[in-house]
Amino acid sequence: MKNGESNINGEKINYSIEHPENGCCETMEITNEEPAGKMNLRTYIPAIFSFIMLMAGILFDYFGTFPHFTGWIRILWYTVAYLPVGVPVLIEGFQHIRKGDFFTEFLLMSIATLGAFAIGEYPEGVAVMLFYAVGELFQGAAVKKARGNIRALLDARPDSASVYRGGTYISVGPERVSVGEKIQVRAGEKIPLDGKLLSERASVNTAAITGESKPDTIARGEKVFAGSINLDRVIEIETIKEFKDSSIARILDMVQNATARKSRTELFIRKFARVYTPIVVFLAIGLTFLPYFFVDDYVFRDWLYRALIFLVISCPCALVISIPLGYFGGLGAASRNGILFKGASFLDAIVKVNTVVMDKTGTVTKGVFKIREVVNSSAFTEAELMKYLMAMERQSTHPIAKAIIEYRAEGTDLEATNVSEVAGKGLKGTVNGKNVLVGNKALMTSNGILVPSATDNIVESIVMVALDGKFAGYVTIADELKEDADQAIKQIRGSGISTIIMLSGDKDSITRQVAKELQIDWAKGGLLPEDKLDEVETLKKQSGTNVAFIGDGINDAPVLAASDIGIAMGGLGSDVAIETADVIIQTDQPSRFARAIEIGRSTRHIVWQNIGLAFGVKAIVMILGVLGMASMWEAVFADVGVALLAILNAVRLQKMDWS
């Protein structure tokens, strides 16, 4: 990794990401025993304790259940309630002041709550700080949940390599294998390092690296990539790169760097506090001392009281509650619709999207092969063609063979004998006394079979059949579109998205055909992860472009991290894509993206309504407080009452019909 180190199998993973915009670094430690997104219950204990103490104090105040709850007992009680949630904020504010950053929301919260204590409104002081602490906890939980992306990638990489040393194969960590060593990979295992194949052939699933929708057949001497899965037999490989330079390690590095390039979204209240806090503080100071020069009967204690009321009124309690509540209302509404946002900031980000880039396999297609068309020559019937084809394909474990066998459930009683594989071309054998060839055009032409020229224009995977030296026909096999794929594109356009693009690791011809069928603006196939990343980075450089990427595979992880907002298919998508993305579509339906935009817009409207409500009411009561026409009760209403109204408004998100 670029900044730090990583180990798996229970060891700690350390990394640091520098944020150029503020010059700070975020350091994270993740262990395999405890997920990064887990929120420890102890984190909530201070807020729970303060809440219980506050409720008990209010009960004693207003119901007289404790007659001696006065004087120093009352002050001490509320002080104890205040300290668990107040001390961390006071310390944070002090540390910011030491760094020269005076006007933060920590300072405003500190002054407002201590001011409430100074004028005897102890419950208000505790409540305001408690609400602020709870809002911070909600945001912290969302951030911690999103931190699993690096750990998920590390879990996805191969754990060990079987390397030939001292006349036998031994298991070692892939990072301990040198270039030029021979390794063995069993069927079903991940290939741990990039290398060249020593065995005669291999069938490998490269979807994790390239996004290719069908497994590849690799011949002796050809390259194989780390992260690919060996499908059908034990193979031997000579390593050509160290693990740190392998394909899966490069993807890991790209995700880390892409995450570093994605600037952190600051909470609105913190941006707002940088302007609001100094204004409020200086106004309160002015309200205390300036009347001395203009009022004949100036009394310091009276104007200090007005200033403290002013501070209580100006306390952003309604904002602190209603803003996160509004966003979490949106998060809840999205969750009920099968959409998981990893943080409130992404509800804002999705509203700004004007360009959608999507993967093909597993995103708009099912990633499952089906026979699309059966074409027989005039010399043979379709039934004959399929009967001999299915008999041959029963001898193969290739996914395409599985698609052919499942085409006709009733099957056939014919059996193939003397079946052998022609590397990179197909199968040959005998069925019912006939010599049968099943494979690609290269197999046909090498055996003198004349193939119709019309097959040259077919972009799907094609399996040709010849019987006793005569061309019998062919079947085309393709990945099926998801049921809502066409609807998804229409809804995305209907939501105001101006540009839709498809980028895929699958064949360029297949990618372009799917894009044409769905009326996508333009498409490009045959892309490796770094190629996809380059394309998205180029788009992001265009002025005014906000890019959302929708994908589902390990190979999509770098692009998901680099885009302005990454959306992963959560039902069948890879764990790496899910952990790296900002938004998860749990139902695997691409049409849910448009609904996510709608929920984001509604959430934003309600949040800004709450902001307007809070500012409007507070401005009125502030003026009354300055004129001496508002008491602490009005101040409490301007804070707590407005907060309640904002909460009721935010709850509307839970009641909306998104169908």
Q: pLDDT per residue over 499-551, tens digit each?
A: 999 998 887 888 898 899 899 999 998 888 888 999 999 999 998 899 999 98
| Residue 635: per-residue pLDDT | 67
Element (H, E) at 548: strand 547-551
**How confident is the model over 92-115, as pLDDT tens digits?**
888 988 888 777 767 767 877 887
| DSSP β-ladder status, 13-19 and 461-467 | unpaired
Q: In sequence order, what are the beta bridge partners of 204? A: 216, 230
Element (H, E) at 355: strand 355-358
H-state helical runs in 495-588: 508-518, 529-540, 557-562, 575-580
| Residue 493: per-residue pLDDT | 92
| Residue 133: per-residue pLDDT | 78
CB atoms within 10 A of CB 305: 18
| Residue 184: per-residue pLDDT | 95
Burial status of residue 393 (CB atoms within 10 A of its CB: 0-12, 13-18, 19 or more): buried
| Residue 265: per-residue pLDDT | 32
The predicted model gives 544-569 an average pLDDT of 86
CA–CA separation, 392 and 601 (whole Å): 55
Percent of the chain clearing pLDDT 90 (strictly above): 23
204 pLDDT above the threshold of 80: yes
**How confident is the model over 429-461, as pLDDT tens digits?**
999 889 999 998 889 999 999 888 888 888 788
CA dist 197 → 182, 203, 617 (Å): 10, 11, 73
Q: Can you spell out the DSSP letters for 163-228?
A: EEETTEEEEE-GGGPPTT-EEEE-TTPBP-S-EEE-SSEEEEE-HHHH--SSPEEEETT-EE-TT-
CA–CA separation, 597 and 583 (whole Å): 11
Q: How many residues does the chain have?
A: 659
| Residue 302: per-residue pLDDT | 79
CA dist 600 → 169, 347, 499, 554 (Å): 55, 5, 19, 27
**How confident is the model over 565-613, as pLDDT tens digits?**
999 886 555 566 667 788 888 777 889 899 999 998 998 888 888 888 8
CA–CA separation, 273 and 106 (whole Å): 9
- Look up 359 and say whether it is catalytic: yes
pLDDT-based confidence at residue 259 (cuts at 50, 70, 90): very low
Tokens 């009721």 — which residue? Answer: 648
Contacts of 453 (CB under 8 A, 6+ apart): none
| Residue 234: per-residue pLDDT | 93
pLDDT-based confidence at residue 267 (cuts at 50, 70, 90): low
| From 359, 506, 552, 556, the catalytic residue | 359
CA–CA separation, 486 and 453 (whole Å): 32
More confident residue, 250 or 514: 514
The predicted model gives 6-20 an average pLDDT of 34
More confident residue, 84 or 260: 84
Contact 250, 237 (CB under 8 A): no
The predicted model gives 174-182 an average pLDDT of 93
| DSSP β-ladder status, 565-569 and 583-585 | parallel
CB atoms within 10 A of CB 351: 21
CA–CA separation, 155 and 535 (whole Å): 27
Element (H, E) at 472: strand 470-481
Domains of the chain: 159-192+194-241 (2.70.150.10), 332-364+482-599 (3.40.50.1000), 367-481 (3.40.1110.10)
250 pLDDT above the threshold of 50: yes
Provide the whole-model pTM.
Answer: 0.58
CA–CA separation, 153 and 555 (whole Å): 11
Residue of 530, 558, 563 lying closest to 546 (CA atoms): 563
Burial status of residue 323 (CB atoms within 10 A of its CB: 0-12, 13-18, 19 or more): buried
| Residue 74: per-residue pLDDT | 92
